[in-house]
Amino acid sequence: MKLVFAVVSDEDSSRLIAELNQKGQRVTKLASSGGFLRSGNTTLMIGTEADKLETVLNIIRKFSCSRTVSVNANTVPSSMGGTYVPYPIDVRVGGATVFVVDVEHFEQV
């Protein structure tokens, strides 16, 4: 048995969970937030049999899209005497960070 931890964007989580459930996979959803943009993330815990792992990973790949968003970056130009000047920069967000661990013991009570 394997335990999959998938950190995905909040925007992708509902559709991803629905697709996993449709394929017979149970999912536990944990709310989390990212450190880089402080945006909302969802961490999914998915217990699956080893022979179904590739199916789970393919669903995560398919429904966790990365996208480009514009965020304001603050800089302090020396010629302006220390004034903050926000300007937009494009940042790639989304996708998934996935960890797969072996499960030594599983018990459903």
Helices (H), 1-109: 10-22, 53-63
Per the structure block, which two tokens stand in for 7? Answer: 């950190």
Q: Mutual orientation of helices 53-63 and 10-22 as an angle, nearest 10°? A: 140
Task: Delineate the domains of the chain, giving CATH numbers in brackets.
Answer: 2-66+94-102 (3.30.70.120)
pTM: 0.74
21-33 per-position pLDDT tens digit:
999 999 999 977 7
Check residue 10 and give its pLDDT.
Answer: 84
Check residue 88 and give its pLDDT.
Answer: 75
13-66 per-position pLDDT tens digit:
999 999 999 999 999 999 777 655 556 788 999 999 999 999 999 999 999 877
Of residues 16 and 10, the one with the higher pLDDT is 16
Inform me whether the pLDDT recorded for 69 exceeds 60.
Answer: yes
